[in-house]
Structure 1
Amino acid sequence: MLTEMNEQLGMNQTENINYDTKRDAFVLGVTYLLVSVCVVISNGVTVLVIVLSKQLHMPTLWLITFRAVCDLSFGVYFLTFAVPSAFLNRFAYSDGMMGVATAISSWLTGQIIFNIALAVIDRYIAISRPLTYTRLVTTKVFFFAIGTAVLLSVGRFCLIVFPDMDFYYSPYICLCLVDFDTTPTMVAAVGIPLLTLAIIVITSCMIAVELKRGMQHIQSAGTDDHENVLKFPLMVTLAAGVFCLSYVPFIIGVMWNLLGSRPQVPKSLAMVSTVSVLSNSLWNVFIYTGTYRPFREALLRLFCRAYLRRQRRAEIQRHARVPNRNEIQ
């Protein structure tokens, strides 16, 4: 009798665990779905605004465009792999696809890290060497910098994926991961992001120092608006700050995983770190809109008809005043 009661109790506990796991996976799937859709839409808007607005064609904004494309791809990745797996409470594809999913996520996370580092370094060059910026940052230099960032992210991806090719599906975060049980994987997963974050923080501080010395009135590349000279560093600094805050839970989770075994990583920390890394790709368009007036105006011209009507009305009134002044003179 006692044995039957224990078996029944064990079955009830297993059912409760399965129910809790399914409920958590469903909530996580809904979160992934909403955030990923917002990431795809916001970064798609960023790319359209910069590509279709000729006054925004400059090296810094092309870097931002490339970063937006990578962020958009990150949202598509979650919509393709994480959302279906969360709703099904299992990996939605065959076991052979686990390596593909892990490889894509490893490359995209590394590329996003190096992209923000490039943007911050570019702004430091523009602030510290304004007179030679246009000669230093040419189209060839831009493509060379992008190529270097891609090669670095591919190198990080190789260090993470290829040492032991040991992939698994994590039901906690509904993603495919790789075991952190080799030295190259540890260095690539934790060392490189920490080094890059240090470069971002140091460069951002150097930008602040340069501005504090009175260099905020220099001419920014491609614009004569002194307000925009200040907005450019503010825009990139805010993006770097949001990036650092978003990746802190991720780094803590990875280091926790390195120090212990997979079951020792708190489930809540794993979920928060994954959502924070995904949400980092969402805030960029709001930062650009709030801090850089030409981007905001280009965005309104493309998507707000009322703004276009007001602009046309103001131009008509401005042209109407000119003949009246000439007649008076």
Structure 2
Amino acid sequence: MIPAPFDYIRPTSLDEACQVLADAASSGDDVKVLAGGQSLLPLLRLRLAYPTALVDIGRLAGLRGVADRGDHVFIGALTTHDEVRHSEVVREQAPLVALATATVADPAVRHRGTFGGSLAHADPAGDLPAVALALDCVFVARSGDGEREIPASEFFVDYLEPALEPGEVLVGVRVPKLGPGWGFHYEKFHRTAQSWAIVGVAAAVRLSEGVIGEARIALTNMGSAPVRARAVEAALRGVRPAPSGSNGVPDPAGDACGLADEGTSPPGDLHGAPDYRRHLARVLTRRAVRAASRLPPP
């Protein structure tokens, strides 16, 4: 389909972009920020979004790149998925981000789509929101009033609704370094390589002498926003993962993962009913935890 008519604005600085967005908000106009466009443009073509204008920030300087900043890795909002995936800093200091980014859509999308754009789109079926939630990332937004930090736990308000205020632009994301002893995995179930996840699981597990000291689990596409599986995290604490859940060997970690769908509200659509997604969440969480614990599948 052909998008509805809109104005196209390409600011030359971040301050100008913030001012354009603030002016639009004060006048009641519906203005969208365009970065890589891989999430927004399909909505426009399907006429699921009717903005009066697009503000293209894709060429603004200073919003791209990866930096090691001591206790965290800073990823600029305009850094492409491909750049994130192949960054040595990300692969060494934030491996869960690298693992999940490698599963985003296909190579064409990863070369054009941006890390910050995907997160600011706030689609619960996207891979990166669950990762940001599991890692307790911090989002850095800029407006005419300065910078504001937004914890991942507060950033994803609802379906396609980030916690960005009118006039704010996401400039980057701080990914905390978790340190030694942690294992990571992103498990995703989808129909084709290019499709959104039917369900996905971001898992980070810290082992000490074979016992889980801490676990962080977040779910993709199990509600109107990414979901932190707190019941699983609590149940896994202090558990020793079994080498295998088969042949009658007890697997308390696997039993704990059976709580993955607790407190979720998965959608129902052509790709899966809510009960099916609940089942997938339990199965995929078990797989993700075993992989993050560096155990072979049962």
Which has the bigger relative contact order, CA under 8 A and spacing at least 6?
Answer: 1
Q: Which has the larger radius of gyration?
A: 1
Same topology, TM > 0.5: no
Q: TM-score scaled by structure 2?
A: 0.26
Answer 1 or 2: which has greater helix percent. Answer: 1
Q: TM-score scaled by structure 1?
A: 0.24
